Amino acid sequence: MDDLDVTLIELFHAEPRVGALEASRRLGVARGTVTARLERLERSGVISGWGPTLDPSALGHPVTAFLTLEIRQGAGHDTVGDHLATIPEVLEAHTITGPGDMLARVVARSNADLQTVIDRALDHPGIVRSSTVIALATQVPYRVTPLLRSSV
Amino acid sequence: MDDLDVTLIELFHAEPRVGALEASRRLGVARGTVTARLERLERSGVISGWGPTLDPSALGHPVTAFLTLEIRQGAGHDTVGDHLATIPEVLEAHTITGPGDMLARVVARSNADLQTVIDRALDHPGIVRSSTVIALATQVPYRVTPLLRSSV
DNA sequence: CCTCCGACTGTGCAATCTGCTCGATGTGTC
DNA sequence: GACACATCGAGCAGATTGCACAGTCGGAGG
């Protein structure tokens, strides 16, 4: 990860449509270099994919909420995780520090729909308690780019 | 969002490298249709970008934590949000329900580094209290694709 | 029932880009 | 000084893109 890598990623982040040739022109390096750098960045896992970024809001799910789940002693986190994975509205779920807890991000079509989603998420014997917070606004939208510079 | 849109997105999600021509072959539609659909999906915001997906872990920040911040009455969320936005390690931040609270996702190089990041994040007069949970494992990695089918 | 319109198809073409290869140059390491 | 490695600049065949055009089809509206 040197400066060229960062600049390269920033360029593709800003204008994903540019190809290797155009990128090489912008950065003043050879096309082969761009190709090689990208290939290396992908192999090392820094770039994990080029797929389209999807917006749940535009998909009709504008409501975001975070569930904190308390797991019953003895019940594996994995079984709860598997259960959560079957629910499309669960966008991610993590095990977190604390008394056997998990944190899950869910989306829903509306507040009414959120209730349904939560009910479905909590429908597992391993979950003994839960609390929900609803995201009202997004102050900092998800981003990783600023981290690049501090990773050089 | 009909079935073709979903299939199209799923294809590009699975194999981002395929072009419009290859995609049209796979799906058995005309190339122009693929182009038109993608253009429409981007215009409608469902597809918000094609940029490279970055992995904070591979960038040297394998530790993820969630901060819950309690904001002082009268202090705007926005000033706190602006403050958080200046910290590269803050990947996202939301206003949430509850007594004037915010939820932020941060990453760090190590647990020791996390302390530094948290200190920096909390260094704002509008923040009166905070709690931190560390993500130990990821049961459900971030995903949106499953939501597609239920959005048709 | 007929007409219009939008979406899709299939085709063609010029311009462009990609994947691949080659030899040459430059730099840091042992 | 020899060597490994990254980069450069160039070339080439093959594939893809952007664009245009005419024909087909099904639904909406008169």
As a whole number, mean pLDDT of residues A49-70 equals 95
Above 80 in pLDDT, residue A44? Answer: yes
| pLDDT tens per residue across span B19-34 | 999 999 999 999 999 9
| pLDDT tens per residue across span A70-109 | 999 887 889 999 999 999 999 999 999 987 799 999 999 9
Cβ pair B52:A16 closer than 8 A = yes
With cut-offs at 50, 70 and 90, classify the pLDDT of residue A39: very high
The reply to whether A36 touches chain B by the CB within 8 Å rule is no
Measured CA distances, B55 to A86, B69, B140, B141, B144 (Å): 24, 25, 15, 12, 17
For residue A105, the chain B residues in CB contact (below 8 A) are 142
A35 beta carbon < 7 A from strand D?
no
**B145 CA from D22 C1′ (Å):** 38
Specify the range with the lowest mean pLDDT, choosing from A60-69, A83-92, A142-151: A142-151
pLDDT number for residue A150:
84
Measured CA distances, A58 to A55, A90, B47, B53, B151 (Å): 5, 16, 8, 19, 10
Nearest CA in chain B to A80: B139
| pLDDT tens per residue across span B61-93 | 999 999 999 999 887 889 999 999 999 999 999
Cβ pair A95:B137 closer than 8 A = yes
- Mean pLDDT for chain B? 94
pLDDT number for residue B77:
86
Cβ pair A136:B94 closer than 8 A = yes
With cut-offs at 50, 70 and 90, classify the pLDDT of residue A25: very high
Nearest CA in chain A to B17: A50
pLDDT number for residue B1:
83
The reply to whether B118 touches chain A by the CB within 8 Å rule is no
Q: SS in 3 state form for chain A?
A: CCHHHHHHHHHHHHCCCCCHHHHHHHHCCCHHHHHHHHHHHHHCCCEEECCCEECCCCCCCCEEEEEEEEECCCCCHHHHHHHHHCCCCEEEEEEECCCCEEEEEEEECCHHHHHHHHHHHHCCCCEEEEEEEEEEEEEECCCCHHHHHCCC
With cut-offs at 50, 70 and 90, classify the pLDDT of residue B100: confident
With cut-offs at 50, 70 and 90, classify the pLDDT of residue A118: very high
The reply to whether A51 touches chain B by the CB within 8 Å rule is yes
The reply to whether A115 touches chain B by the CB within 8 Å rule is no
Above 90 in pLDDT, residue A32? Answer: yes
What is the Cα gyration radius of chain A? 20
Quick one: DSSP state of residue B108?
E
Above 80 in pLDDT, residue B128? Answer: yes
**B27 CA from D21 C1′ (Å):** 24
pLDDT number for residue A100:
76
With cut-offs at 50, 70 and 90, classify the pLDDT of residue B37: very high
With cut-offs at 50, 70 and 90, classify the pLDDT of residue B98: confident
Above 80 in pLDDT, residue A152? Answer: no
**Which domains are assigned to chain B?**
3-51 (1.10.10.10), 63-135 (3.30.70.920)
With cut-offs at 50, 70 and 90, classify the pLDDT of residue B8: very high
The answer, as to whether pTM is greater than 0.75, is yes
pLDDT number for residue A116:
97
pLDDT number for residue B73:
86
Cβ pair B78:A102 closer than 8 A = no
Above 80 in pLDDT, residue B117? Answer: yes
pLDDT number for residue A127:
95
Report the candidate in B81, B93, B137 with the shortest Cα–Cα distance to residue A92: B137
Q: Which of B81, B97, B134 minimises the CB distance to A97?
A: B134
pLDDT number for residue A151:
77
B32 beta carbon < 7 A from strand D?
yes
The reply to whether B44 touches chain A by the CB within 8 Å rule is yes
Cβ pair A95:B47 closer than 8 A = no
